[in-house]
Amino acid sequence: VVVSDAAAKNSAPGTFVLQNVMETPNDFGDLVRGIVIDMGAAAAVPYMPGDSLVVNIDGAKLEKVNGRLSITGIQAGKITKAGSNAAVIVRSVTLAMIANDFEAYESTVVSVHANVKDHAAGVNYSGQHPLFDNSGVEMTLQTKPEADFASEEVAVNANFTGIVTNEGDKKGIALRSAADIKYKSGALYSGFPESFEFPDFSVKSSYNMTATNNDVDLSTGNWKLLQAILGNTIIRDKFNFPGKQCVRMQQNLSTDGLVQMNFDLTEGASKVTLFYGKYYTDPASTFKLEYSTNGGTSWTQAGADVKDMPVEGSKQATFEVNIAGNVRFRVRKMGLGTSTATKPNGRLCIEDIAIYKAL
């Protein structure tokens, strides 16, 4: 399936990117891979995102072109269009996830929330801009000067969807069009996302530790993990690589579970993101995001209930808010009782909670 948009002019002349998905039975999710098809710089690219193509690679060459793995020597006569409007798989990631397995992500479509480090008034998207999501890795947002959106002013932070690419020795993400810039917000709070990598899982290994009131010192501050543990079972717990832990919340309860901040952030909030998924082969569950502006005395729901659990792997939820001053957040897993076919209540994994300052 074609995933690049030649019409927006943010890809090398005469090239387009194909992405393929192979279904797998494992809990990591399906296998997604991509590659650049190079028809020559002078060639017109008539293909649109979502076009399904069959490419005859007889006599073609597999090689690196300016750092990108490409199939070169492809003429238009060797390409057959098999369909249109196919769904394009977009994977939500952190920059560390890409860096940890770059070859697996190269030339595929991803979505990442990140600060643009060199953001300033009047700075536009043209060129290479360093991205930062506090996952331990920096990559660049890459935009050609001739791209349709190159003159637009960069956001402080946004959800950037694009193709993982390698421009010479610069690894990064190339937006396909202006539509790939969503959920603009204030900057990511220092120290976030909360990755649940600290402390060791053994510190919170029981779902209900009454002796400590279920309060745990994490890397961002003190949190309440009520009916929740730090899980580290590979594949079954949905932590983001290269991390080794996430939160796992209990199943089949008739009371709510909480992953709750016991401290305030002081510069308001414009957005919250988090990853979520089912534990192993458990049924789905339902949770909501809530916030408090009075030190935890009362709580207000942000956005809608979340219940669309992926069959494999994890998803990322994005909540847009407009809150000034002191604020804290919590994930509240609904106590729906014992799971049934119409009211599932399995174990829930929560990972990488990120909070972004008010605009």
pLDDT > 70 fraction of the chain, expressed in percent and rounded: 99
Domain ranges of the chain: 6-83, 91-185, 201-356
Whole-number Å distance between alpha carbons of 152 and 34: 28
pLDDT at residue number 167: 86
- Global pTM? 0.96
Judge whether 91-185 and 201-356 match in fold.
Answer: no
pLDDT at residue number 114: 99
Model confidence pLDDT, tens digit, residues 140-166: 999 999 999 999 999 999 999 999 999
Classify domain 201-356 at the CATH class level: mainly beta
Token pair, residue 331, equals 């994930």
pLDDT at residue number 163: 99
The dihedrals phi and psi of 62, each to the nearest 5 degrees, come to -95, 120
Residue 270 pLDDT > 80, yes or no? yes
The dihedrals phi and psi of 152, each to the nearest 5 degrees, come to -70, 145
Q: Give the fold, CATH level 3, of 91-185.
A: OB fold (Dihydrolipoamide Acetyltransferase, E2P) (2.40.50)
| Position 29 confidence tier, pLDDT thresholds 50, 70, 90 | confident
Residue 264, CB-side half-sphere exposure with 13 Å CA sphere? 14
Whole-number Å distance between alpha carbons of 211 and 240: 30
Residue 26 pLDDT > 80, yes or no? no
* 18 vs 67 pLDDT, higher one: 18
pLDDT at residue number 84: 98
Decide: 237 and 256 in contact? Cβ < 8 Å: no
Q: Which of 153, 325, 123, 333 is nearest to 225 (CA)?
A: 333
| Position 3 confidence tier, pLDDT thresholds 50, 70, 90 | very high
Residue in the block written with tokens 């193509």: 53
pLDDT at residue number 135: 97
pLDDT at residue number 27: 67
Per-chain mean pLDDT for the chain: 97
Q: Which of 147, 92, 155 is nearest to 120 (CA)?
A: 155
- Non-local CB neighbours of 61 within 8 Å, separated by 6+ positions: 71, 72, 73
Amino acid at 324: A
Residue range 259-270: average pLDDT?
A: 99
Model confidence pLDDT, tens digit, residues 178-204: 999 999 999 999 999 999 999 999 999
Q: Which of 220, 249, 235, 252 is nearest to 340 (CA)?
A: 252
Q: What is the dihedral of CA 140, 312, 226, 325, to 10 degrees?
A: 30
Q: Pairing between strand 138-143 and 170-175? A: parallel
Residue range 245-271: average pLDDT?
A: 99
